[in-house]
Amino acid sequence: MQNKASDGSWVRWKYVLTESENIENPLRHLSTTFSLALLMMIVITVSPIALVKAPTSGTLAFTTSGLAGTAGITCPNSNGNCYNNAAEPAIRADAAGNFYGSSENGLTGGTDAWRSTDGGLHYLTLVSPNSASAASNQFSPAGGDTDLAVASQTNINGLYNVYVTSLALTNVYVSTSSDGGNTWLLNPTGASVPGDDRPWIAAEGSSKVCVSYHSITATNDIFVTCSNDAGLTFAQTGNAFDANHLWLAAFQNAIGNLAIDPANHYIYQSLSGVATAAETTCTNCGLHAVWLAVSTDGGLTFTDHAVYVNPSTSVSYGHQFVNVSVDRSGNIYVIFTDDHNLYYSFSIDHGTTWSSPTQVNQTPSNTAIFPWSTAGGSGKLDIVWYGTSYYDGKNTPDNYPMSAAWYVYFAQNLQATTNPANFTQLAATPIIHYGGVCESGVSCTGNRDLYDDFGVAASPTTGLASIIYSNDQYVNSSTEPAAPGCTSSTSNTGSCDHTDVATQTSGPGIFP
């Protein structure tokens, strides 16, 4: 295992062309058909940090830090309390340049949340968006499958609403903050169709927020439920599959994330699936087609467009997760991986037609999984993934040897619609995991320390990125102290699972 030295400073890590029994909570992804009608208010007082604009010149570089699991703590600091036990995080940035992150502690464990007001250099731990539910009733305080969204326009307080969704034992919880994460209003019935899994959330305007999710009590339909009152009620539900593609719902799809273009109000739901209705009876066909469901009427109806269909039915893009992002000009980017390489396609006509896929990852990232993206100004795109130099052409990442060292990789293209191959790539972190990485969700039988996804966002005020990711390494540095129970002997196991951030400190940004 690797121990990183601590000298009391905030270490900048930069890797350009170099590389050298999991403890799982079985409730983490559980869901049920029981729903609960309840609204709660959680209140905490916090003091934001003064805004400091990060530099934008020089080559790409990132600095890494741990995050605290206790509300009211700002990290990094020298107090040894910047640790947590959360995993599978998400991150977004509002138009004022504030970053918001969330990460899960598993069902019944609640959700952690953070805010940065200085470009991602420091993060304040917020009160959990859903913790009060446990004190008020006998049901779950949620904590599974978290995602996060921010409004595109300010509310009456002059701030941008922040929304956190989390899978609960009863439903999909949606928590709304209208004051920068200081207080949360919780709606525990964010899904109109009960029996849900893997919720995603997106927002636009001052008060519209939509949640997408699998309905596992049906046939794995993907529903999109929207609220026009900042999450107070969710009265509108649409099916992501149009009449010509209902066969995708017959357990023939893997859900991806949800995005909304605030300029035209179009809603985009990404997914992978089979390519034709005839393939629904094929026992050996992989999810070799990438799809985007497009709604031009605010989520009432959707039209399904094929982004890319691999001619080989043995290929599958049904790995966590197909990802979609939209830039300020309305260009759409869909990111996907085949368990080996990572690709993106783009559309300049709202998802009707698509470019041929372009491979993003290059050596030393010979394997690339768990992609995420964020788009900025026209044609400007950041992509992240978990990558390793290991690839033998035979084994899936689940069966990789302990010699496979995984990093968080970052790639940037400032001409993504005109020069698709123009990516700059680097490893943004030290090693975060060794060995196999399971991609089967709750069905995993191998190592699942990295869980299913992570995220990246870019500040509209600086253009610089902040990445939030999972890490199972024993670090124990001044900026990343080890949590209780995480030791050098338990490194690379679930006992050391935690959420970290890597923030861009130099290099080009993707805004304006």
Res. 288 pLDDT band, cuts 50 70 90: very high
Distance of alpha carbon 306 from alpha carbon 276, whole angstroms: 11
Distance of alpha carbon 311 from alpha carbon 313, whole angstroms: 6
Q: Residue 1: inside a domain, yes or no? A: no
For residue 138, what pLDDT is reported?
Answer: 43
Q: Residue 511: inside a domain, yes or no? A: no
Listed residue (506, 509, 486, 481) closest to 496, CA to CA: 486
94-96-101 Cα angle (round to 5): 35
Q: Residue 229: inside a domain, yes or no? A: yes
Res. 14 pLDDT band, cuts 50 70 90: very low
Burial 71-89 (b: 16+ CB within 10 A, else e): bebbbbbeeebbbbbbbbb
Average per-residue pLDDT for the chain = 87
Q: Residue 5: inside a domain, yes or no? A: no
pLDDT, tens digit, 9 for 90 and up, residues 308-324? 999 999 999 998 899 99
Residue 356 pLDDT exceeds 80: yes
Residue scoring higher pLDDT (20 or 168): 168
**Amino acid, single-letter form, for residue 410:** F
Q: Residue 119: inside a domain, yes or no? A: yes
Q: Residue 137: inside a domain, yes or no? A: yes
For residue 206, what pLDDT is reported?
Answer: 98
For residue 3, what pLDDT is reported?
Answer: 37
Query: What percent of the chain lies above the pLDDT cut of 90?
Result: 73
Distance of alpha carbon 380 from alpha carbon 422, whole angstroms: 11
For 154-179, what is the mean pLDDT?
90
pTM, two decimals, is 0.88
For 334-338, what is the mean pLDDT?
98
Q: Which domain holds residue 38?
A: 12-506
Total count of domains within the chain: 1
Assess contact for 460 and 95: CB atoms under 8 A. Answer: yes
Q: Residue 187: inside a domain, yes or no? A: yes
Residue 264 pLDDT exceeds 80: yes
Query: What percent of the chain lies above the pLDDT cut of 70?
Result: 83
Instruction: Tell me whether strands 323-326 and 332-337 are parallel, antiparallel or unpaired.
Output: antiparallel
For 58-83, what is the mean pLDDT?
96
Res. 140 pLDDT band, cuts 50 70 90: low
**CATH number of 397's domain:** 2.120.10.10
Res. 112 pLDDT band, cuts 50 70 90: very high
Specify the 3-state DSSP secondary structure of 332: strand
Listed residue (470, 475, 436) closest to 455, CA to CA: 470
Q: 216-220, 417-421, 432-436 — which is least confidently predicted?
A: 216-220
For residue 30, what pLDDT is reported?
Answer: 35
For residue 427, what pLDDT is reported?
Answer: 98
Distance between terminal CA atoms of the chain?
Answer: 41
Specify the 3-state DSSP secondary structure of 134: helix
For 275-292, what is the mean pLDDT?
96
Q: 248-257, 258-267, 296-305, 503-512 — which is least confidently predicted?
A: 248-257
Q: 276-285, 301-310, 365-374 — which is least confidently predicted?
A: 276-285
For residue 499, what pLDDT is reported?
Answer: 97
Strand partners, 292: 270, 305
Q: Residue 161: inside a domain, yes or no? A: yes
Residue 489 token pair: 């002997």
